[in-house]
Chain A
Amino acid sequence: GENVEQHPSTLSVQEGDSAVIKCTYSDSASNYFPWYKQELGKGPQLIIDIRSNVGEKKDQRIAVTLNKTAKHFSLHITETQPEDSAVYFCAASLTGTASKLTFGTGTRLQVTL
């Protein structure tokens, strides 16, 4: 089955700086890669996703890049703000209406003033 590794486990950046979180996956058949933000005591919230026919996707301060050959994808957050502090999870799946997500281990991002 799919295995997703995520690094780093914790990340501390100063407000205004950029943050990068990296994930690798094992199943070359995976073609859907969402990123979720989870605040303490809440459910995960989808922030951006990318499919394997695209190499990069951007939404305001958030961008995701995908390297299919190397089987890794990254989340980039620019101009970080204190409200970006949360746990971020990457995931991978094979596209389908009942496709199961395999999650990474999570990255706790702390944005300091």
Chain B
Amino acid sequence: GAVVSQHPSRVICKSGTSVKIECRSLDFQATTMFWYRQFPKQSLMLMATSNEGSKATYEQGVEKDKFLINHASLTLSTLTVTSAHPEDSSFYICSASKGDTDTQYFGPGTRLTVL
């Protein structure tokens, strides 16, 4: 068990539009979900921590009004990139952890390209 999915796997959008990325835990309830961003040949950078039913906690330097996170249920969190610009192009990855452990299980990632 411990499978995490993301949708879409890749998306191309025009500058100024908004894009929503979904993260789902398929076979477990995730009390906490995390959103990361990864630029080419770089490490994963945590953007925010999301707990079900509460507001997300953003890392320093991450604009909460630009990267909207909603954790509506124990199996779904969404990241919306608002008014996307080319510099937002990146690989966005979510992870989820079960309530009884700190192990994080990662999704397959979403490749966002903003033209």
Contact = CB atoms under 8 A, between A and B. Distances in A.
Contact of A100 (B46, B51, B93): B46
Contacts of B103: 34, 46, 49
B44 A44 contact: yes
Most central of A32, A44, A105 by chain B CB within 10 Å: A44
A14 interface: no
Interface string A22-58: 0000000000101010000111111001000000000
A70 interface: no
Contact of A45 (B44, B46, B49, B106): B106
B44 A103 contact: yes
Interface stretch (A60-68, A77-85, A88-96): A88-96
**Interface magnitude class on chain A:** 20 to 34
A99 interface: yes
Given A104-B43, A105-B43, A44 B106 contact: yes
Interface of A is mostly: loop
A69 interface: no
B112 to A, nearest CB: 13
B102 interface: yes
A46 B111 CA distance: 21
Contacts of B97: 97-98
A96 B32 CA distance: 11
